[in-house]
Chain A
Amino acid sequence: MEQIIVNGVVLSATYALVALGITLIFSIMNLLNFAHGQILMIGGFMVYYVYGVFGLPYAVALPVAAVVTGLIGFGFEVLLFRRVVRVATREENSMLLAVGTALLLENLALFGFGEKQRGVPSIVGGVYRVGAAFLPAGRLLVVLIALALIVALLLFVQYTRPGRAMRALAQDREVTYLMGVDVERISALGFALGAGLAGIAGGLLVTLSGVNAGIGTALSTKAFIMIMIGGAGVVAGAILGAVVLGFAEAVGYALIPGSTTYLLIFVGLILFLVLRPQGIMGKPQR
């Protein structure tokens, strides 16, 4: 039982970081970023090269991953999504663009980084015992870093001027514009921040699970599940969705025959969405 709880906490913390980035972008742009998993993958590769190959400290590699992926997100918003969101009359256009950017990043990564799985040495060694459960020090550190970043993000969104502008944008784009907020600048900042969070998540995950050019789609799918559970565009909902999915996996793998765990998760998700399509914390659409 202790091991299930430990596994659930580790999964929830890392998943929360993945979900926060995608929900941030969704709330500001009303855009489901299909390339989120691929941006996360790029972050993983940045840490692989900076920390694993060039031997620089992990404390340098993680910010590099955040900055590089943040710039990718910024570039996507300014060069691609801004115009499409403004000009397109249907939401599908921006969704298709997002799918396109996902395929672009995946193929560029395959070309540039190769087909192999990459991994880095653990940041710290050793394994703790929590009751009967095993908790490797590297996993504990990743959880602590993820929790610190989640708290930092919540504080940023809650108390800083750009953070408040992002929340306003998420609530009503037109009113925010009329209030004198530079909507385009805040959108670009939000996209960069969401992408940067994905990059950090990738940089943390690479120490636990490595990275390869093809991991993006599966991670994006998990991110979508989390924000559907919690409520798309709601920061607290993303965290809640991550906790639900993390513990569902941990409990499922321990107590339910293996191949039915995700089957049950998807069946549960479908039933849940039928009853509450806006997610746990989302507001129903009028």
Chain B
Amino acid sequence: MANGLHATRRGVLAGAGAAALLAASRPARAESVLKIGVLGVMSGPAASWGLVNKYCAQATAAMWNEKGGVTIDGTAYRIEIVPIDDKNDPKLAVSGAERLTEQDGIRYIIGPNVDTTAASVRPVAEKNGAIYFPYAFSKALYTPPAGNAVLGMIASYQAGPIIYRFLRDSRGVKSVAFVARNESDPLNQRKEGVEAAKKLGLNVVSSDDTYEGGTTDFFPVMSKVVSGKPDLIVLSGVAPADAPLLVKSARELGFKGQLSTETAQDAKVLREGAGNAADGFISVGGASTPEIASDYMNRFRDRYARVAGEWNDEAGTKVYALEIILATLQKAGRGAIGDVAAFKRTIDTFSMRNPFLREDKPLAYVGTAYFGQKRQIGVPMVVNEFHDGAFRTLFIGSVE
């Protein structure tokens, strides 16, 4: 018994010494906590949208916390991510936003993912003085008098015209057909896409073909779309789960033209679901292709894979939110942690080097041309083409 006690004491002393050494060798531990909310769909068929947001925030927070947290006005804050699943339900989005802002006192929320949930969160955010970063494209969310939402990525109506123009000018596309999931976001994106295509002088062969959520066989809907013999088929607002199936069905039906979408996709999902049939498929990506990614982005990829179990190319477009929130707070000062007015004032002049791109490019808030105010993260518009199982960057555009 005595020996056991002696051994325990020795062990405690050795452990304390090791802990002291370890503490001395690490960056100073942040004692204050900065809570960031992530509100989005994290279960059901669209789970990947919200989960990718959550994993991105958790991976970014982990990287910052390993360095001792984020320092704002000389105080180090440990970043804590508080995720809530809204199941794509506006009612749950409202209750989630209320919990984040009222119970947890959070002022910065990443999400929600679609127009309906983002719109439902607006009154809560405005009443409780919070800023949220939706991945929904409705212009009303970002246009005055609305002022508390910041679009987290490139909208379809921004990417679409640029992609169509590229395909018209460099691939000889003259006609286009649209197909969309029968839900409000994809249907809105289709409407915007049709208008953009018409403005570019493209012949819109068909634009009323839709499929229901949960469709497992896309042959029937694609049979009709392909029969119109368009040069280009646009998959409006297509979810990553549906994209490979639609692409594969089109190819199996003998379609030889171009296929594109304005949403982000994952190379592995395309590779597994469509194989070589997805060759030539154009989508919007982030900073994840090897030819443009910085070392920091590559480290983020590794950290993301540790958090989520594997890398997802969708994260390339969603990596920016937390990084720019933290950098803006650093510039705005400690007061902005609890008062978003200071954060809003900083938005107009904020700029930093884009940490995710190898090339020296600025990262700032944009959107004046679309919303009349800077309410969008200036995510670079990386347009990728799928080839031999991987994405290849075609070109990089930007939004003003």
Contact = CB atoms under 8 A, between A and B. Distances in A.
B272 A115 contact: no
A43 interface: no
B216 A219 contact: yes
B47 A208 contact: no
Interface in A16-54: 52
A194 B353 CA distance: 58
A172 B208 CA distance: 50
A218 B221 contact: no
A33 B266 CA distance: 33
B126 interface: no
Contact of A217 (B44, B187, B211, B220): B44
Most A CB contacts (10 A, CB to CB) among B215, B254, B308, B312 go to B215
Interface stretch (A80-88, A154-162, A232-240, A255-263): A255-263
Interface string A101-119: 0000011001000111111
Interface residues of B, number: 45
A147 interface: no
A180 to B, nearest CB: 43
A210 B44 contact: no
A121 B271 CA distance: 9
A127 B210 contact: no
A94 interface: no
B220 A205 contact: no
Interface centre among A52, A116, A121, A250 (most CB of B within 10 A): A116
A136 B241 contact: no
A123 to B, nearest CB: 13
B223 A253 contact: yes
Contacts of A11: 217, 220
Nearest to B240: A117
8 contacts: A106-B44, A107-B43, A117-B244, A127-B252, A212-B47, A215-B45, A258-B221, A262-B182
Which 5 interchain pairs have the tightest Cβ spacing? A218-B214, A258-B210, A119-B273, A214-B45, A117-B241
Interface of B: 43-48, 51-52, 179, 182, 187, 208-221, 223-224, 240-241, 244-245, 252-254, 266, 268-269, 272-275, 308-310, 312
